Structure formats: C-alpha cells, structure tokens
Amino acid sequence: MNKIIKTERLLLRPLIKTDADDVFEWAGDPIVNKYMPYSLYQDIKQVESWIESLEDDENEFAFCLNDTGKVIGSGSITFDPERNTYELGYNINRAYWGNGYATEAAKAMIQWAYSNLDARDFCSSHANANVASGKVILKCGFQFDHYGQYSRFDGSETFDASFYVLHLD
C-alpha cells in the first residue's frame, strides 16, 4: 500500500530512523508534550527505539516540508477495533504552530484512510486545555461527541478531554 501523501506544503511518508533528530525537537519539548499521552523523550535513542517499534498498521506518518524535507511533525490514523473506528492523532514541532500544518496533514491522513483503507468512521480527542488541537479537529469536520478523560500511557497524569467523531459516506 502506498503510504506517500502529497499536499500543497507537505509530504507525508512513513517515519524512518534518520528522522530521529527532527522528531526529538518536539518529542523532547515539554511544551509540546504537555497534553500528549506519551512521556517526554529524554534522548535521541528513545526516539529511535519508538520509530523502530512502529508497526505498519499504526499508519504513522512523518510530516515533511516540501521545500526542505524537514520533518516538522507526525501523525497517525489507526484502527481501533473496540470502537470500530479510525483514530486520528498528530503532533507538531512548536516552531511550526499556527501555520495550518496540523490541519493540512490531518485532512490528508483522513482522505488517505478513506481512499486506501475504506475508512468511513473516525474519532479524535484533545485535552480541553489544548484549545489549538480542538480547532484542528473541528477544521477537519469532526463533530463533538462527549466529554471524558484520557491518561498518559504511564498513568502519571490524567486530562479532562473532548471527544469527537466524523463519518464520511
């Protein structure tokens, strides 16, 4: 399956080990990590291990600037069998916040999943305090579904959150 997506300003492709330096710029940034479910990365080796651990069905994409090739973010669109839906997630280097890259990449991943995985039902969520992430979700056409909570993978912190759904015919 082709996992290359081209948008106006970005190339989305699978993450590779040589992306680790760029990824560490946001995965090791406590401001970017503030509401993320993963723990703050402390060194490049942790990033390399994560990239190497990615499975094909996780559909994790690097967000690369078309003009320079720099990896400025990543995202995934992964099937959740419990909810029978595809979950959208994304993360952007804060030096590139506020430029519409997250929305551009998220819309492209949704379209890719629609076309390549026959995905029709999607979900996404954000910490209520992370207003900017909520705006990305709404710009992608999601509708509010419910309030709830999510926790970091290590259980160290729990966030009040908003959950959204999107259905495409």
pLDDT in tens, 41-97: 999 999 999 999 998 878 999 999 999 999 999 999 999 999 999 999 999 999 999
**Is the alpha carbon torsion for 53, 76, 9, 40 positive or negative?**
negative
Q: Give the pLDDT of residue 125.
A: 97
Q: Give the pLDDT of residue 58.
A: 87
Q: Does the global pTM surpass 0.75?
A: yes
